[in-house]
Chain A
Amino acid sequence: AQRVTQPEKLLSVFKGAPVELKCNYSYSGSPELFWYVQYSRQRLQLLLRHISRESIKGFTADLNKGETSFHLKKPFAQEEDSAMYYCALPGGFQKLVFGTGTRLLVSP
């Protein structure tokens, strides 16, 4: 069964420090992976998807099939990056399976 594991509930860093939010997955085949983000008092929204290979707000994520990982990275964290981050993958055509989320807290 498809599964997403986000091992850290909370990641706390200082402004300007590098950030890596971990995501490991279990999936048979070639997965399409997503990162969704929820800022304080805002709705859940798409941050990036691996097929687009884009850098959004300075974040990148590389699919590593050998390690079955899709970690989210940013070289220099900003205070406005503080949010809940969810990794997700398809659980069939009709749905996404989400991880339990990691709260990123960036302190000044």
Chain B
Amino acid sequence: GAGVSQSPRYKVAKRGQDVALRCDPISGHVSLFWYQQALGQGPEFLTYFQNEAQLDKSGLPSDRFFAERPEGSVSTLKIQRTQQEDSAVYLCASSSERGHTGELFFGEGSRLTVL
């Protein structure tokens, strides 16, 4: 595809369920980022991959959050035992440059609602 693709677009989970959110970055992009955007807030950094290496996971709010990018392409963000405060839009972005230096291309986001 031409852009960053995320799935599912919408996810409703009961509290305590595990969820997995997928990101397909633009082909060949080295950098992949996950951001969390709560209602009325700006995106907040969760984690960063350079190819398959997770170089920064300082923004992950708890050990219930886990991200991987095993082959340096598709990435999955997993949230275990979801809580209501996890409700947010999860944005994936990719870049052809390392780090933040290049333009970030964002996906449409996955909106997670935890009941």
Q: Residues of A with Cβ closer than 8 Å to B?
A: 4, 9, 32, 36, 43-46, 49, 86, 88, 90-101
Contact assessment for B55 and A94 in the assembled complex, using a CB-CB cutoff below 8 Å? yes
Across the interface, do A44 and B91 meet the contact criterion of CB distance under 8 Å? yes
What CA separation (Å) do A102 and B14 show in the bound complex?
Answer: 32
Q: Are the C-beta atoms of B108 and A94 separated by less than 8 Å?
A: no
A96 CB contacts on chain B under 8 angstroms? 43, 45, 100, 104
B18 interfacial by beta-carbon distance below 8 Å: no
Given the complex of chains A and B, what is the CA–CA distance between A43 and B55 in angstroms? Answer: 25
Question: Taking chain B's interface residues, is the majority helix, strand, or loop, or is none over half, making it mixed?
Answer: loop
Interface residues on B, range: 20 to 34
A95 CB contact (under 8 Å) in B4, B48, B105, B106: B48
Chain A residue with Cβ nearest B109: A43
Chain A residues lying within 8 Å of B100, measured Cβ to Cβ, are 90, 93-96
Contact B45 A91 (CB under 8 A): yes
| B residues 42-67 touching A (CB-CB < 8 Å) | 42-45, 48, 55-56, 59
A93-B100, A95-B59 known; A101 vs B42 contact (CB < 8 Å): yes
**B99 lies within 8 A of A93 (CB):** yes
Residue of A nearest to B40 (CB): A100
Q: Are A98 and B42 in contact (CB under 8 A)?
A: yes
Query: Which A residues touch B41, using CB under 8 A?
Result: 100-101
Query: With the chains together, A91 CA to B45 CA distance in Å?
Result: 9
Select one of A44, A92, A98 contacting B44, CB under 8 A: A98
With A94-B48, A95-B56: A46-B103 Cβ-Cβ less than 8 Å:
yes
CB atoms of A100 and B42 under 8 A apart:
yes
Are A95 and B40 in touch, CB under 8 angstroms?
no
A108 to B43 Cα, complex, angstroms: 30
Closest chain-A Cβ to B63's Cβ sits at a distance in Å of: 20
For residue A92, give the distance in angstroms from its CB to the closest CB of chain B: 7
